[in-house]
Structures are given as C-alpha cells and as structure tokens.
Amino acid sequence: MRYALLGLLPLLAACGARAPGDALFPLEPGRQWTYELRTERENEPVERETRVLETLPAEPLDGAPAFRRRSDGGVDYWLRSDASGIYRVASKSDVDPGPQRDREPRYVLKAPIAPGTSWRAGTTAYLLMRRESFPREVRYSHAEVPMNYVIEALGETLELRTGRFEGCVRVRGQASLRLFADPVAGWRDLPLITTEWYCPGVGLAKLVREEPANSAFLTGGRLTMELLEWH
C-alpha cells in the first residue's frame, strides 16, 4: 500500500527550490516515524503491530538523485519531488535483487495541493480473503487495479493519542475489484477505499484502509495506521 509520511522537507536542495507538497512529506535523511497498525477482520481478533519508517540519504538512481525511505517491514522506496508533486520512482522488497523501477511515477501528493486535485495509481486487495479456497489472500491471484485519489480537504484538525494536529490535508482513494462473492450475489465490484491525513511538520499522521466484503465466500476488513511518535 502507499504508506506516505509527512513533515517539512527541503527536498530540492540541488535545485535550490521547494516543490509543492514539500511541507507535507519529509525526505531529508534522519527522519523517522513509528506507527501502530491495527487490523480488524470479520469474526477474528484485532491484530496490532508497530511499523517504523525512516529516510536514508539520497542516492543516484538512473542518473538522478532519489531519496530512499525504508520500512522495517522489509520494503524500501525511492522518491523524488518536483513541480508536479511528490512521487515514488522505485521500490524493493527483501526478495528483489535491486530497485524495481515504476513504469510511471506513483504520486504520493500531486500538485497543486488543493481540493479537487486528483491522480491515479495501482493498488491491490490487502485485506480481502477467501473463506476456504487457496490461496486465501485475494491479492495473490488478482492483478493490480487503478485507484483514483483526490485531495478532499485542507485545514483539517486530527485528534490522535499523540496529540492534536491542525492544518492537515485529507486524501481519499477509491477503487473496485470484481470478484465472485457468492452464488446468490454472483460477481460484484467490491470497494477498496483509502483515507490519508497529512499534517504539516509531522507527515502521514493517519491512514485508514477499508475493504468490506459482505459475502458468503469472502471476508473483508479495516486497517488503521496511526502515528505513535516521530523525530
């Protein structure tokens, strides 16, 4: 999923300019964020874990510098920022021999930072599972689908356990995945919904992923990613 983080970011130091969204997505080396991930599935106990992300020094990628963001979940991301916004250019999991280039930029925040700005990026089902068939995880048998993102609001206030955050940007992503739900409902377009809050000087403060199933053959769920600490 697109676990983007925010804060103040002098990203284009080499160009001597600040790009749109820099105040909402820090890429300077040494920044670190700790999140709680809470997963709620139908008829299952709530799962909790922590996830730490950090920004490493910029390094060359295809002839231009890219900032590297590392997750303790085993995935690295390379990002850039320019006048069009902030976007990912490559990623790498533990099993990849090196960075896997994105065919086109995958935006975290697209300029202008204003209500109505929209973009598209691929996604998959992270929570939808089959009740009995194998593999249970739907993502292993279905290709990515396009998710449409839009900046819904500016200046929002967010109350979390870590405190009160003001001036936040809310982004919403919506997609659908066509699956055979059950013999009665047949094939249905199941919604995949992501809501993200980016707060100035902090980063990604909260993310909610919703994948309801309401099906005899499938189970869905809700994942909440909430900021615990940062520096």
Q: With respect to residue 3, please indicate whether it lies within any of the assigned structural domains.
A: no
What confidence score (pLDDT) does residue 141 get?
Answer: 80
**pTM for this prediction:** 0.87
Q: With respect to residue 216, please indicate whether it lies within any of the assigned structural domains.
A: yes
Q: With respect to residue 214, please indicate whether it lies within any of the assigned structural domains.
A: yes
The count of C-alpha atoms lying within 13 angstroms of the C-alpha of 122, restricted to the half-sphere facing its C-beta, is 10
Domain extent at residue 69: 22-230
Residue 49 CA to residue 70 CA, distance in Å, equals: 17
Instruction: Return the DSSP state at 137.
Output: B
Q: How confident is the model at residue 142 (pLDDT cuts 50, 70, 90)?
A: confident
Q: With respect to residue 6, please indicate whether it lies within any of the assigned structural domains.
A: no
Q: With respect to residue 93, please indicate whether it lies within any of the assigned structural domains.
A: yes
Q: With respect to residue 15, please indicate whether it lies within any of the assigned structural domains.
A: no
Residue 203 vs residue 40, higher pLDDT? 40
The least confident of 74-83, 129-138, 173-182 is: 129-138
Residue 80 CA to residue 119 CA, distance in Å, equals: 16
pLDDT of 213 strictly over 70: yes
Residue 205 CA to residue 199 CA, distance in Å, equals: 6
- Taking residue 223's Cβ as centre, other Cβ atoms within 10 Å add up to 19
